[in-house]
Amino acid sequence: MPLDGAARRAFEAVLDPQDVLSDPVRCRVYECDGLTGHRVVPELVLLPRTAEQVAAAVRVCAEHEVPFVARGAGTGLSGGALPVADGVVIGLNRLNRILEVDPVDRRAVVEPGVTNLDVTRAVAQYGLYYAPDPSSQQVCTIGGNVAENSGGAHCLKYGFTTNHVLAVEVVLPDGSTVTLGSDTGEQQGPDLRGLFLGSEGTLGIVTKVTVRLLRTPETVRTLLADFPSVAAAGEVVSDVVAAGIVPAAVEMMDALAIEAAEEAVHAGYTIGTPAALVVELDGPAEECGSTFEQVRRICEAHGCTRLHIAGSAEERAAIWRGRKAAFAAVGRISPDYFVQDGVVPRTRLAETLDRIAAMSRSAGLRVANVFHAGDGNLHPLVLYDGAAGETARAEELTSAIAELCVEMGGSLSGEHGIGTDKACSMPKMFSRDDLAVMARVRDAWDPQGICNPGKVLPTPRLCGEPGKYRPHPLEEAGVIERL
């Protein structure tokens, strides 16, 4: 149902009218996030400047039953911020203030539109930093990180967003404001903060976030090692973990990903090597030094063909720039691509990669692999050319890869979320009962169904009827037929 005039006027009454975008050309630039395969133009885009305005706008939505979608920097890769037709987008980019830094208790209170990296920049002077580091950390916002429970390379050692957010102020779908969690991280009753973290914008809009800060490690050592095969690199990862070492990060890239990243940033990756590992250790200097030697020996034992140790902060930054730009850099070697995000048990990494390679060959599409090897979080990138009509085949392959991860005993998503992209694959991982429970929880928060509707849980509109069609025995016998 298109937005009625009363709702429009109500939005203009609670926001500055110039912060309500209705021009169809302007609204079109909000039609997608980082997942460009899905596009829907919203009716209006609201750009509030304060938490109170967010709450007021959501109250208007509730009153007029207008579906709304919250959006940060629009870097999400699962279509979590895809607008809803006839609905509004609430952009939180202007809520970008750092409200409080408490270096003694190591906390900061920030608005949702602050970028991940800006939190670290604001507290670096106290020798502190904010640990979760999605590859898009210079762009993506804390609000989006909360919604997606974002991870990143260093989550292997330090945990995901949920481990670093103590409390969130949330505007619920009825427009009321609550605080979940507390400054100390303790909470009475059920862990609603934990439930909200990673709910992908379906339970409300976060307007204030209290994050935990860590002390900047005394020493950081980073190495880049080339291997003759992905399997050899995979074995290194297993051996490192088996040796009881907890690296800050272990990242793997294959030949295609290396080629793209090196072209983008010239960080010193070896073009043509079948696989490379980035291993980072941090902590007290002595501990770091001895474990670093251990890692080095493990690399050499597995036929490492070149081992490069970052000699300076600049070199380390360059290695990370390459790794973190890898997704987008693939744009240099392919007109289009899908980024997949799945998890497999670390012990089945090599096997999974072999299966992906086989699927890639039979689909006739290239797949580049960049991933957080330490925790088995894969990011296969399916390369295709939309103009050559390869889109459907690429979509099939990317879904098949996600489902392969489930088959391997892993998960549909490690950190990018389910969003629009993988809602239809949810029944592969969860039973009808699981999904029904999730839907009931969601209904309890959002009885009107206006808060980021159509995401995460499969809907008939998005996916067709749930469950695989099974013909009736009479139909099989040819007695009746399906119309």
* Interface region with another protein, contact rule CB under 8 A, candidates 166-174, 261-269, 280-288, 297-305: 261-269
Do 147 and 198 touch, CB atoms closer than 8 A? yes
Cβ proximity to another protein: between 23 and 186 the closer is 23
CB of 299 vs another protein, minimal distance in Å: 27
CB of 471 vs another protein, minimal distance in Å: 42
CA pair distance 452, 449, nearest whole angstrom? 8
Q: Who's near 274: CB < 8 A, 6+ residues apart?
A: 227, 228, 229, 230, 254, 255
- How many residues touch another protein under the rule CB under 8 A: the total is 41
The reply on whether position 47 binds another protein by CB under 8 A is yes
Could you report how far apart the first and last alpha carbons of the chain are, in Å?
A: 30
CA pair distance 459, 226, nearest whole angstrom? 45
Q: Write b or e for each residue in 1-36: b if 16 or more Cβ atoms lie within 10 A of its Cβ, otherwise e.
A: eebeeebbebbbebbeeebbbbeeeebeebebbbbe
CB of 190 vs another protein, minimal distance in Å: 35
For residue 150, give the nearest of 135, 134, 166 by alpha carbon.
Answer: 134
Position among 264, 279, 319, 378 found at the interface with another protein (CB under 8 A): 264
The reply on whether position 320 binds another protein by CB under 8 A is no
The reply on whether position 84 binds another protein by CB under 8 A is no
The reply on whether position 151 binds another protein by CB under 8 A is no
CB of 257 vs another protein, minimal distance in Å: 12
Cβ proximity to another protein: between 14 and 89 the closer is 89
Tell me which residues in 365-384 interact with another protein (CB under 8 A).
none
- With residue 197 as reference, give the H or E element that holds it: none
Please name every residue paired with 211 in a beta bridge, in sequence order, or none if there are none: 108, 165
The reply on whether position 94 binds another protein by CB under 8 A is yes
- With residue 117 as reference, give the H or E element that holds it: helix 116-123
Position among 15, 51, 265, 350 found at the interface with another protein (CB under 8 A): 265
The reply on whether position 197 binds another protein by CB under 8 A is no
The reply on whether position 101 binds another protein by CB under 8 A is no
Angle between helices 391-407 and 349-363 (to 10 degrees): 160
Do 434 and 466 touch, CB atoms closer than 8 A? no
Position among 7, 40, 44, 73 found at the interface with another protein (CB under 8 A): 73
Tokens of 98: 């750092």
The reply on whether position 78 binds another protein by CB under 8 A is no
Q: Who's near 107: CB < 8 A, 6+ residues apart?
A: 100, 101, 166, 183, 210, 211, 212, 213
The reply on whether position 207 binds another protein by CB under 8 A is no
The reply on whether position 269 binds another protein by CB under 8 A is no
Position among 20, 40, 66, 96 found at the interface with another protein (CB under 8 A): 96
CB of 36 vs another protein, minimal distance in Å: 5
The reply on whether position 138 binds another protein by CB under 8 A is yes
For residue 98, give the nearest of 82, 81, 118 by alpha carbon.
Answer: 118
Position among 30, 160, 196, 384 found at the interface with another protein (CB under 8 A): 30
The reply on whether position 75 binds another protein by CB under 8 A is yes
* Interface region with another protein, contact rule CB under 8 A, candidates 150-158, 183-191, 263-271, 423-431: 263-271
> What are the Cα distances from residue 53, in Å, to 15, 38, 147?
6, 29, 20
Q: Who's near 391: CB < 8 A, 6+ residues apart?
A: 37, 336, 384
CB of 362 vs another protein, minimal distance in Å: 26
Give the CA radius of gyration of the chain.
Answer: 23
The reply on whether position 10 binds another protein by CB under 8 A is no
Position among 332, 361, 432, 472 found at the interface with another protein (CB under 8 A): 332
CA pair distance 275, 257, nearest whole angstrom? 9
CB of 34 vs another protein, minimal distance in Å: 6
CA pair distance 144, 73, nearest whole angstrom? 8
Position among 74, 134, 234, 247 found at the interface with another protein (CB under 8 A): 74
CA pair distance 183, 104, nearest whole angstrom? 13
The reply on whether position 239 binds another protein by CB under 8 A is no
The reply on whether position 329 binds another protein by CB under 8 A is yes
One DSSP character per residue, 90-112 reads EE-TT---EEEEETTTTEEEE-T
Cβ proximity to another protein: between 325 and 424 the closer is 325
Residues 270-309, one symbol each (x = binds another protein by CB under 8 A, - = not), give ----------------------------------------
Residue whose structure tokens are 């102020």? 169
Contacting residues toward another protein, per CB under 8 A: 21, 23, 25-26, 28-34, 36, 47, 73-75, 91, 93-94, 96, 113, 115, 136, 138-140, 263-265, 325-332, 335-337, 387
